[in-house]
């Protein structure tokens, strides 16, 4: 009897390991069928600023926003992530990546080595992006300076340092759905909705998260603790911005000034450095869409001492 129980336990363990291995395997190439394409570098530059690439990947302690040597520390409840080098350096950056590998990283969160990327890189939003925008971004990144040096490895405790487990996380939080325009809305509204939902990844900071680090869908855009662990990210639905006009939001995205005469700081200041470089029509579209967000109550920020 004991022998049968041992055999049964071993069999269950083998099945469990096999199931885990299958469920957590990284997705295949997301762009295997890419055909010939003439990239639009001007649009690639727009995508670069809309996506906030420089905010995370710029080499620290220098002012050139096009030197993307990485190395910035991103603190989180799961450990410290270090933004990688995404300059076109052939060894230390993404200079040896193919376009298909880049697109796969952006929409599937899988590296050229076939490993899961951590969602500190917001591919849960980038998966909504148009393929043309991603291809233009890749072409634009190729024009930037190659920067030597690799970022240090992430500092994550067990079990978060086991990348394979991200396969289970993706089953819950990565749906693979592209952005779908709303035919009942204007082209301008849909442009704003597209930028906010995909490239600008606004919900990644402006939404509360659950214990596994996923966005709480019912409180999307309702604010919450700063994912990096310091401060509070505000609610940007009409629960908080009901007195703001579209023009007020547009002005904040341009200059960082609020209707009260204050100026945004911390991470939002870095966001404004990017949005201020967008075409005025895109800032207007983003503002129009954000103004349309229905009121959603989010977590209450802690009382100030």
232-244: pLDDT as tens digits: 889 999 999 999 9
Q: Mean of the per-residue pLDDT values for the chain?
A: 88
Position 129 scores a pLDDT of 97
Q: Is 23's pLDDT higher than 90?
A: no
> pLDDT digit string (tens) for 69-97?
999 999 888 999 999 999 999 999 999 99
Q: Is 164's pLDDT higher than 50?
A: yes
Position 33 scores a pLDDT of 63
- Mean pLDDT for 133-145 is 97
Q: Can you tell me the distance from the alpha carbon of 62 to that of 92, in angstroms, rounded to the nearest whole number?
A: 18
Count of Cβ atoms closer than 10 Å to residue 54 Cβ: 20
Region of 221 please: left (phi>0), alpha (psi -120 to 50) or beta: left
287 located within any domain: yes
146 located within any domain: yes
Q: Can you tell me the distance from the alpha carbon of 198 to that of 61, in angstroms, rounded to the nearest whole number?
A: 29
Position 35 scores a pLDDT of 82
Domain check: are 164 and 193 in the same one? Answer: no
Q: Is 163's pLDDT higher than 60?
A: yes
Q: Can you tell me the distance from the alpha carbon of 47 to that of 201, in angstroms, rounded to the nearest whole number?
A: 12
Domain check: are 147 and 212 in the same one? Answer: no
Domain check: are 166 and 209 in the same one? Answer: no
Tokens linked to 43 = 């649009």
Select from 294, 289, 204, 177 the least CA-distant residue to 242: 294
Select from 166, 149, 161, 26 the least CA-distant residue to 80: 161
Position 59 scores a pLDDT of 93
Domain check: are 143 and 192 in the same one? Answer: no
Q: Is 265's pLDDT higher than 90?
A: no
133 located within any domain: yes
21 located within any domain: no
The kind and range of the H/E element at 136 are helix 131-141
CB 54 within 8 A of CB 68: yes
Boundary of a domain, candidates 116, 149, 173:
173
Position 19 scores a pLDDT of 47
Domain check: are 167 and 191 in the same one? Answer: no
Domain check: are 281 and 243 in the same one? Answer: yes
Position 187 scores a pLDDT of 97
Select from 106, 112, 153, 113 the least CA-distant residue to 133: 106
Domain check: are 192 and 238 in the same one? Answer: yes
**Domains identified in the chain, total number:** 2
- Mean pLDDT for 17-32 is 54
Q: Is 212's pLDDT higher than 80?
A: yes
- Mean pLDDT for 141-160 is 94
Domain check: are 131 and 227 in the same one? Answer: no
Q: Is 108's pLDDT higher than 60?
A: yes
DSSP conformational letter for 154: P
Domain check: are 46 and 144 in the same one? Answer: yes
6 located within any domain: no
Boundary of a domain, candidates 173, 201, 235:
173
Q: Is 150's pLDDT higher than 50?
A: yes
Highest mean pLDDT among 19-28, 88-97, 152-161: 88-97
Position 289 scores a pLDDT of 98
116 located within any domain: yes
By the 10 Å C-beta count (0-12 exposed, 13-18 middle, 19+ buried), 156 is classed as middle
Domain check: are 196 and 152 in the same one? Answer: no
Tokens linked to 230 = 């310091």
Q: Can you tell me the distance from the alpha carbon of 129 to that of 53, in angstroms, rounded to the nearest whole number?
A: 14
Instruction: Indicate the pTM of the whole model.
Output: 0.89
Position 116 scores a pLDDT of 95
19 located within any domain: no
Select from 264, 258, 125, 122 the least CA-distant residue to 193: 125
Position 18 scores a pLDDT of 47
Position 267 scores a pLDDT of 82
- Boundaries of domain holding 284: 187-291
- Mean pLDDT for 199-208 is 95
Boundary of a domain, candidates 173, 197, 231:
173
Position 219 scores a pLDDT of 95
82 located within any domain: yes
Position 31 scores a pLDDT of 56
Output 255 or 229, whichever has higher pLDDT: 255
Output 241 or 10, whichever has higher pLDDT: 241
Position 21 scores a pLDDT of 44
Position 261 scores a pLDDT of 82
Domain check: are 167 and 217 in the same one? Answer: no
CB 86 within 8 A of CB 68: yes
Domain check: are 131 and 206 in the same one? Answer: no
């Amino acid at each position: 009897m004991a022998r049968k129980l041992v055999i049964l336990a071993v069999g269950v363990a083998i099945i469990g390991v096999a199931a885990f291995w299958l469920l957590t395997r990284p997705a295949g190439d997301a762009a295997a069928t890419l055909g010939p394409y003439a990239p639009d570098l001007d649009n690639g530059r727009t995508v670069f600023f809309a996506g906030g690439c420089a905010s995370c990947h710029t080499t620290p302690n220098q002012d050139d926003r096009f030197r993307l040597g990485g190395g910035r520390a991103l603190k989180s409840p799961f450990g410290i992530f270090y933004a990688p080098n995404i300059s076109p350096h052939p060894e230390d950056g993404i200079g040896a990546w193919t376009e298909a590998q880049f697109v796969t990283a952006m929409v599937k969160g899988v590296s050229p080595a076939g490993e899961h990327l951590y969602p500190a890189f917001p591919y849960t939003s980038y998966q909504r992006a148009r393929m043309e925008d991603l291809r233009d971004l890749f072409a634009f990144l190729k024009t930037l300076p190659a920067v030597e040096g690799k970022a240090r490895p992430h500092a994550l405790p067990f079990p978060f340092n086991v990348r394979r487990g991200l396969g289970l996380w993706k089953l819950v939080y990565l749906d693979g759905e592209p952005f779908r325009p709303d035919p009942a809305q204007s082209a301008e509204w849909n442009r704003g909705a597209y930028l906010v939902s995909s490239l600008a990844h606004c919900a990644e900071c402006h939404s509360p998260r659950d214990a596994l680090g996923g966005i709480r869908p019912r409180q999307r855009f309702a604010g919450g603790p700063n994912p990096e662990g310091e401060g509070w990210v505000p609610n940007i639905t009409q629960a908080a911005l009901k007195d703001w006009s579209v023009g007020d939001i547009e002005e904040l995205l341009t200059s960082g000034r609020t209707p009260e005469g204050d100026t945004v700081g911390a991470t939002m200041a870095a966001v404004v450095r990017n949005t201020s470089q967008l075409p005025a029509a895109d800032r207007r579209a983003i503002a129009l869409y954000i103004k349309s967000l229905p009121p959603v109550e989010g977590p209450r920020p802690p009382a100030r001492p």
